Structure 1
């Protein structure tokens, strides 16, 4: 019979709060904490192509290991030793760009698939991916809601979250926000604990940690590791962590050590036996020496000046390959494979309903949007300032020839710079994107749910920003005083801002400013204002103008202002008129707004088509952003 298990939080009270709460499966049975009794790997190799010679280059060689449930393994080595490569390979992640991974990854002695390992494990990245404007409890609750099936009640989820918060010593900070650049929140150690706790709420049986103590001092590192060890032992978790230069006390928290250099294994065994092993192969540890630092110094080829460390490392690796410890490790892995009886494919993790995930993300984004001033508060202030600037510079224009060009300039300025200032949204979006990447890697959120929720939550705020801007700038400038004209202006600006809002999704922080400047300059050059369509170079016209959403916005706003208006020409000496725009009304000292449009090769009656094209471009940007997320593994 197949047994289905639901991901539920590995709830446990603080150290003195009584027995653990019961776990529930899809069938309301107990979740067996011994689902994963061991995790092992054999002859794991990772090969990439050397960029210079184009030949295969091994970055992980013949790695093997074995960890029992309730134990904690430290993967340790100097920089570039292959720690993260091994950790990623074990978690069935991309070990390195263009890498080929071979070998066996085993749970309870059975080869495991990507989906099975994803269902049974969680991966905590080195960099925190927490949303700064959420509280500790909200962070945990959203993690639970993204992972727990629908048959788990809200009360049960809340109890599990509370107990997990207590287990990590965060009770006093439950209502404290994580922290933003403007408002201080948790300390570094508390953030690390919260990041791990938010992954444990999904009830993994295997936990991968990429340098969980990075950026912490020795006291905080010990604190974090002691909490992890306590949780792991009480809930029989397999914990595999890469770690760099731990203090002696932190190092002793681990049960097993995998020491690596240059992608090769130097030692795999218990922490307690490591000192004796190195003494037997000719590298005794001096008295009162931090054993972790001693091991790293032995194999740190970065400090090698005369080739001595390379030779020593080769000797250590060769000694390990021929050691009794390596032979026993191989025998343990083989024995586990031979004695394996049940198939893990019988276990299936129950997940939330497909419609539930976007709603949870939408709720989370809503809280962030009104609480995080970086997301919308600063943008609202910027756009209000821009509206006041525009309205007071382009102040009270009239229907005279001398105001026509300033009107056109105001239309161009309003659209182009409203769009350009959407760059203020980049930091807030990148925080969301970082969180999404980790949740996606742990199988909680997909690209479609992320894109849908992010799009929906932005619309009301964008519309509010446009209304705020327009109420100030439109009437101060003196655009056509008509309700329908005003709301058409609002529509065009909303589409304009939505277009740039979509484009933000295609950026990364390192190139955000460069891409923003280039793209905005490109769209302004080809939108038909700086160079009218009748003289625009054919390359720019046919390659970029017709996919430039700002071009249709500019044309629509021009028609909105000039289609029904008449303007008086400039009167010169002798009562004559000097008209800048040819018209059949020039003899009367006037010209029509359509005569202005003709100078820019803008036709009337196509507004509906332009709206449709602009929406199509926005949808196209969304699809491109979605595909970028799908293809970015």
Structure 2
């Protein structure tokens, strides 16, 4: 396995891939048969990446400036070695790892990255590599074993049996020292779970479950306890590293063996004391140079000269396809050879079933919006390596919420229908249950869609509330449709509350034979409600004389259809309203899919 690690000046980033210096893979002027043979060689040459940095007042100061995060970075990662990328905060360590892990758009990144002298397809890289992020993104209500088993279901080959996957998980638990925490939930701020060090080891386990050929790690020791982090002074870790790349402001100031640091800086004019940590000395010196007027320019130029006279050559033993096939034959758990690599480890329906099993408990104890906002980053991590399809996730997400919506709808309907005394009997109750479920379904789908486009939880709540308030305002409840201004009437038809509201009114009043106001009931909502009934009857007789029609205490003044007409509810039947409400739910789920497809890509632009 090749490992690449990125580390800060006080800690670090690790990129788990065997890497080396920025030298050519082979030269025709030497006998390549005498060079050391490498099954895998990840090469990156002249990587350059810039971003636009906005200004606080762009109209007065211009549109912004360009900041170069990587500037001509080159190197190689060799099979079986650990390459550490060191540097101060902002030096470009994480950006370099993102570039090597194909997490920067090709149009934005200049330079070339090859594996065994071949440009690697994205689907192949996803199958043979893994990326351990700086922050632990795990489901808090799953146990350690469940978390690793879920990763095994998606990352291990589909031809591997369930028992073998479980055996692999148990072996990994022992390797990571998690045996005592096997049945402990991960936990979060509101639920006590594993320790920070155990959580970090679980994150690493999730990504190495399939024994990747290349492993990228960003700040792998962050969150570990002192024992797991080798007591961190950094010199204890230095002995584990095979090669180093030290960055300063996006440029390389050293590439090579850790043992050559003393010689390198001695020739540069700064001798490292024998008892001092070499990497700490180097990083402190670089920090001092960065604060000087000339910066690290002289050190960067010295590194180029150093590399030209200390370059190392290696010989590739085979093509990429052959190398992967050999790795699989030796026990690697990646899917298969490059020609046969499936994009996903499981079939479509099995993906849905596994995701449903894994997420049911998570949804049972939390609200939709915070769950989905938290889960989106886990989704981005899992789909970055084709753990499952976006469509499988969207469908399973919808199926997971259905049981809760059905139970909530039944409870709400049972209480309100009989407590309020709504009409319709048992058939009316069943329709009322259907429309309540449809409204909950469309509302849940709306919030799900918004969670796919809203970046933060604190921003999500006010946006959701504002949208629902606008839907309620234009639903026809506060303002009849006929009184809504013409330039706002379009919003009336977009309101997801309009259709269940009209459906309930249809269910209650859509009866042409039932009368809701007779005779003296005409005075119930007027100041005359308190006068004697005999006087009300005489007033009705007076109305009869004036209007020329007979009006008695049994005359019907208002039927259900009249109430619906007064509310402006005449265009749609109650079944139309039901189907439209359900359709809104499916429409928002489709929008959610596209929000994940285009808005949740784990790549820099």
TM-score by length of 1: 0.75
Structure 2 counterpart SS, 1:110: coil
Following TM superposition, by how much is the alpha carbon of 1:529 offset from its aligned partner in structure 2, in angstroms? 0.7
Equivalent residue number for residue 325 of structure 2: none
Partner Cα distance (1:145, 1:463) in 2: 29
Equivalent residue number for residue 51 of structure 2: 48
Following TM superposition, by how much is the alpha carbon of 1:431 offset from its aligned partner in structure 2, in angstroms? 3.1
Equivalent residue number for residue 498 of structure 1: 441
Q: Which of the pair has more CA radius of gyration? A: 2
Equivalent residue number for residue 183 of structure 1: 191
Equivalent residue number for residue 235 of structure 1: none
Deviations 1:472-512 (A, max 9, x none): 23322322262222222221121111112112222233421
The 1:218–1:257 alpha-carbon spacing in structure 2 relative to 1, beyond 3 Å, is: farther
Structure 1 counterpart SS, 2:147: helix
The 1:292–1:53 alpha-carbon spacing in structure 2 relative to 1, beyond 3 Å, is: farther
Counting only pairs closer than 5 Å after superposition, residues 159-198 of structure 1 correspond to structure 2 as 159-198=167-206
Partner Cα distance (2:271, 2:134) in 1: 33
Following TM superposition, by how much is the alpha carbon of 1:36 offset from its aligned partner in structure 2, in angstroms? 4.9
The 1:36–1:161 alpha-carbon spacing in structure 2 relative to 1, beyond 3 Å, is: farther
Contact 1:218 1:250 in 2 (8 A): no
Equivalent residue number for residue 352 of structure 2: 358
Contact 1:76 1:258 in 2 (8 A): yes
Equivalent residue number for residue 334 of structure 2: none
The 1:156–1:547 alpha-carbon spacing in structure 2 relative to 1, beyond 3 Å, is: same
Following TM superposition, by how much is the alpha carbon of 1:530 offset from its aligned partner in structure 2, in angstroms? 1.1
The 1:585–1:294 alpha-carbon spacing in structure 2 relative to 1, beyond 3 Å, is: farther
Counting only pairs closer than 5 Å after superposition, residues 361-400 of structure 1 correspond to structure 2 as 361-370=355-364, 373-374=365-366
Contact 2:39 2:317 in 1 (8 A): no
Contact 1:218 1:246 in 2 (8 A): no
Contact 1:149 1:353 in 2 (8 A): no
Tell me the number of residue pairs that the alignment of Structure 1 and Structure 2 aligns: 512
Equivalent residue number for residue 284 of structure 2: 297
Contact 1:436 1:445 in 2 (8 A): no
The 1:341–1:253 alpha-carbon spacing in structure 2 relative to 1, beyond 3 Å, is: closer
When structure 1 is superposed on structure 2, of 592-601 and 432-441 the one drifting more is 592-601
Pick one of 66, 73, 85 that aligns with 1:63. Answer: 73
Counting only pairs closer than 5 Å after superposition, residues 119-138 of structure 1 correspond to structure 2 as 119-138=127-146
| Bigger proportion of residues as helix | 1
Partner Cα distance (2:479, 2:279) in 1: 67
**Structure 2 unaligned regions, length at least 5:** 1-36, 55-61, 323-336, 541-548
Query: Is 1:457 the counterpart of 2:405 in the alignment?
Result: no
The 1:253–1:35 alpha-carbon spacing in structure 2 relative to 1, beyond 3 Å, is: closer
Following TM superposition, by how much is the alpha carbon of 1:586 offset from its aligned partner in structure 2, in angstroms? 8.2
Following TM superposition, by how much is the alpha carbon of 1:54 offset from its aligned partner in structure 2, in angstroms? 6.1
Following TM superposition, by how much is the alpha carbon of 1:546 offset from its aligned partner in structure 2, in angstroms? 1.3
Contact 1:246 1:292 in 2 (8 A): no
Partner Cα distance (2:137, 2:552) in 1: 65
TM-score by length of 2: 0.78
Contact 1:36 1:107 in 2 (8 A): no
When structure 1 is superposed on structure 2, of 568-577 and 360-369 the one drifting more is 568-577
The 1:80–1:167 alpha-carbon spacing in structure 2 relative to 1, beyond 3 Å, is: same
Equivalent residue number for residue 575 of structure 2: 608
Equivalent residue number for residue 298 of structure 2: 315
Contact 1:48 1:59 in 2 (8 A): yes
Contact 2:439 2:582 in 1 (8 A): no
Query: Is 1:349 the counterpart of 2:351 in the alignment?
Result: no
Following TM superposition, by how much is the alpha carbon of 1:629 offset from its aligned partner in structure 2, in angstroms? 0.6
Partner Cα distance (1:479, 1:365) in 2: 37
Contact 2:48 2:71 in 1 (8 A): yes
When structure 1 is superposed on structure 2, of 438-447 and 285-294 the one drifting more is 285-294
Following TM superposition, by how much is the alpha carbon of 1:600 offset from its aligned partner in structure 2, in angstroms? 1.3
Following TM superposition, by how much is the alpha carbon of 1:555 offset from its aligned partner in structure 2, in angstroms? 0.6
Deviations 1:515-544 (A, max 9, x none): 1121111111111111110011222211x2
Query: Is 1:573 the counterpart of 2:567 in the alignment?
Result: no
Following TM superposition, by how much is the alpha carbon of 1:364 offset from its aligned partner in structure 2, in angstroms? 1.1
Equivalent residue number for residue 264 of structure 2: 277
Following TM superposition, by how much is the alpha carbon of 1:83 offset from its aligned partner in structure 2, in angstroms? 1.0
Equivalent residue number for residue 247 of structure 1: 234
Deviations 1:108-138 (A, max 9, x none): 3433222222221011111212111111111
Query: Is 1:476 the counterpart of 2:419 in the alignment?
Result: yes
Pick one of 71, 85, 95 that aligns with 1:75. Answer: 85
Partner Cα distance (1:459, 1:246) in 2: 52
Partner Cα distance (1:538, 1:604) in 2: 17
Partner Cα distance (2:269, 2:574) in 1: 83
Partner Cα distance (2:258, 2:564) in 1: 80
Pick one of 97, 104, 119 that aligns with 1:111. Answer: 119
Counting only pairs closer than 5 Å after superposition, residues 153-232 of structure 1 correspond to structure 2 as 153-216=161-224, 218-222=226-230
Equivalent residue number for residue 496 of structure 2: 549
Following TM superposition, by how much is the alpha carbon of 1:552 offset from its aligned partner in structure 2, in angstroms? 0.3
**Structure 1 unaligned regions, length at least 5:** 1-33, 224-244, 375-423
Partner Cα distance (1:217, 1:144) in 2: 26
Equivalent residue number for residue 587 of structure 2: 620
Deviations 1:558-585 (A, max 9, x none): 2212334543431441422899xxx999
Deviations 1:270-308 (A, max 9, x none): 22322332232123335654444433333348x96xx51
RMSD between superposed Cα atoms in Å? 2.9
Structure 2 counterpart SS, 1:355: helix
Contact 1:47 1:99 in 2 (8 A): no
Pick one of 478, 486, 496 that aligns with 1:530. Answer: 478
Deviations 1:416-467 (A, max 9, x none): xxxxxxxx32122223322211010012122111101111111111111111
Deviations 1:282-341 (A, max 9, x none): 23335654444433333348x96xx51x52422222211221x35544x53xx54xx464
Deviations 1:581-617 (A, max 9, x none): xx99987475323333222101286112222222222
Partner Cα distance (1:143, 1:585) in 2: 77
Contact 2:39 2:318 in 1 (8 A): no
Partner Cα distance (2:503, 2:553) in 1: 26
Equivalent residue number for residue 87 of structure 1: 97
Contact 1:547 1:617 in 2 (8 A): no
Following TM superposition, by how much is the alpha carbon of 1:548 offset from its aligned partner in structure 2, in angstroms? 1.6
The 1:605–1:113 alpha-carbon spacing in structure 2 relative to 1, beyond 3 Å, is: closer
Counting only pairs closer than 5 Å after superposition, residues 260-271 of structure 1 correspond to structure 2 as 260-271=247-258
Contact 1:71 1:255 in 2 (8 A): yes
Following TM superposition, by how much is the alpha carbon of 1:627 offset from its aligned partner in structure 2, in angstroms? 0.6
Contact 2:506 2:573 in 1 (8 A): no
